[in-house]
């Protein structure tokens, strides 16, 4: 079971804990690992109990077309932290392995990359990161085995955070964001046959694929008094949007020496605009451009073109069960010429590819998408491959000091004044 809770807490602390303004809110970012969009009550689940996460939805905005920048953990989180497609920072692999397997690897975000945490610290925020696990208290309590137990414990943990915000009168001074780094890992099955992966609702595929089940993730935002409650938004948004959103709210400057692919969500969340700035979203499978999403400004359609798709195994299944994840190149994929084309506004399950006979604008749509790909490709610069085999290999001298197995290692401890300790009961 690998459902984790990724939590970044940012607290504005330039003067005192009582100094707040609309432009400098507290920010709580909650990111689950491999959580399916269909695992939560607010997205339609009726057998898992997620009352606290559902409460975020009731008291805030539910994004129904929120997209992870990658269907794999490492590149998705890199995009989340930087507001940039992972290909721009070298956090997208050309080899079969697209994630870091060890903490003692030499690859990672290049030092020149800027995360939102770094910018918020410059504005006086304190930050913290808090990797949670299923405890004995929740084991065997859900209807969905160990995975369900972990989901319900995660929901309880969210409730603990909400209770603390209420206790210290911080509810109206705090922006909360909840999401997942990609869709549920549907091939995650134990040796005894118990399903340890989640549920992606009506959507096809899951983790490691750019079918909607792999990239359409929960997106919940709550900020009482600033964001309307009980609102649903079906515009395409991305986890890369969190970077510019909170950087602007903190009063910091967005970097002007690089492309930021995310867009500030606040105008959309507050109803000041009705259309997402993401006319195009580019879906990468590792370092390979896999698909493109186009939401024309004059249409309700959301076109999605696939240049290749993974070969599911068994062939009539919904995933790559023989290899545990789907891969992105060679004999693991089928290339399409012309690309497979779907209109997600009519076919969100991606069941029936369009053809020139069923869509009169078929070739025109593909022409626009290909032009967008060409423009996007020109914006990319060559960067070191952070997920090369050399960078992926385990290096004992880089093993974190928290390991009890290794006594000789290096740690770069930050100043105690720059850390915010968060304890939950």
pLDDT band at 12 (very low <50, low <70, confident <90, very high): very low
What's the rounded mean pLDDT across residues 216-245?
97
Measure the CA–CA gap between 48 and 148, rounded to whole angstroms: 7
Q: What's the pLDDT tens digit per position in 187-198?
A: 998 888 888 899
Token look-up 């400057």 returns: 253
In 28-129, which residue ranges form alpha helices assigned H by DSSP? Answer: 51-58, 73-82, 116-122
- Cα 241–chain centre separation: 10
The pLDDT, as a whole number, for residue 412 is 53
> Is the pLDDT higher at 413 or at 14?
413
The pLDDT, as a whole number, for residue 73 is 94
What's the rounded mean pLDDT across residues 223-233?
96
What's the rounded mean pLDDT across residues 165-179?
96
The CA dihedral of 326, 281, 350, 364, to the nearest 10 degrees, is: -120
> Is the pLDDT higher at 13 or at 181?
181
Closest listed residue to residue 182, CA positions, set 340, 325, 347: 325
Of all residues in the chain, the percent with pLDDT exceeding 90 is 77
For the chain, domains (ranges, CATH) are 5-278+384-418 (3.40.720.10)
Q: Assess whether pLDDT exceeds 80 at residue 21.
A: no
| DSSP conformation class of 148 | H
The pLDDT, as a whole number, for residue 14 is 35
The neighbouring-strand residues paired with 146 are none
Distances (CA, A) of 144 to 39, 45, 179, 190: 10, 12, 21, 13
Q: What's the pLDDT tens digit per position in 67-105?
A: 999 999 999 999 999 999 999 999 999 988 999 888 888
The neighbouring-strand residues paired with 219 are 179
The pLDDT, as a whole number, for residue 146 is 87
Q: Assess whether pLDDT exceeds 60 at residue 156.
A: yes
Measure the CA–CA gap between 114 and 253, rounded to whole angstroms: 12
pTM: 0.90
């Amino acid at each position: 079971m690998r459902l984790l809770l990724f939590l970044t807490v940012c607290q504005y602390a330039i003067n005192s804990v009582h100094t707040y303004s609309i432009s400098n809110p507290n920010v709580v970012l909650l990111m689950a690992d491999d959580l399916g969009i269909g695992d939560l009550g607010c997205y339609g689940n009726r057998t898992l109990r997620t009352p606290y996460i559902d409460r975020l939805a009731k008291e805030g905005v539910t994004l129904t077309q929120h997209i992870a920048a990658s269907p794999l953990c490492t590149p998705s989180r890199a995009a989340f932290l930087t507001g940039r497609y992972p290909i721009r920072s070298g956090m997208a692999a050309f080899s079969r392995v697209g994630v870091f397997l060890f903490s003692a690897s030499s690859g990672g975000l290049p030092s020149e990359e800027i995360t939102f945490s770094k910018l918020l610290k410059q504005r006086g925020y304190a930050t913290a990161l808090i990797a949670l696990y299923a405890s004995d208290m929740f084991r065997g309590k859900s209807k969905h085995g160990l995975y369900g137990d972990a989901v319900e414990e995660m929901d309880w943990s969210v409730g603990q955070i909400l209770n603390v915000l209420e206790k210290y009168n911080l509810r109206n001074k705090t922006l909360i964001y909840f999401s997942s780094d990609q869709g549920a890992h549907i091939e995650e099955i134990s040796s005894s046959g118990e399903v340890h992966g989640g549920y992606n609702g009506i959507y096809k595929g899951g983790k490691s694929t750019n079918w909607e089940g792999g990239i359409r993730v929960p997106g919940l935002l709550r900020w009482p008094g600033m964001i309307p409650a009980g609102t649903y938004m079906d515009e395409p948004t991305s986890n890369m949007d969190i970077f510019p959103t909170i950087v602007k709210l903190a009063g910091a400057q967005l970097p002007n020496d690089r492309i930021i692919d995310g867009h500030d969500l606040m105008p959309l969340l507050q109803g000041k605009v009705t259309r997402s700035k993401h006319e195009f979203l580019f879906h990468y499978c590792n370092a390979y451009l896999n698909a493109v999403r186009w939401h024309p400004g004059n249409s309700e359609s959301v076109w999605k073109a696939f240049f290749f798709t993974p070969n599911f195994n068994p062939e009539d299944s919904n995933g790559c069960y023989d290899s545990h994840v789907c891969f992105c190149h060679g004999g693991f994929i089928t290339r399409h010429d012309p690309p497979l084309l779907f209109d997600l506004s009519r076919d969100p399950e991606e069941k029936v590819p369009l053809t020139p006979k069923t869509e009169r604008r078929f070739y025109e749509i593909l022409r626009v998408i290909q032009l967008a790909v060409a423009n996007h490709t020109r914006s990319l610069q060559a960067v070191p491959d952070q997920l090369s085999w050399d960078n992926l290999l385990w290096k004992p001298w880089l093993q974190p000091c928290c390991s009890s197995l290794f006594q000789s290692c290096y740690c770069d401890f930050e100043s105690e004044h720059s850390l915010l300790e968060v304890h939950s009961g």
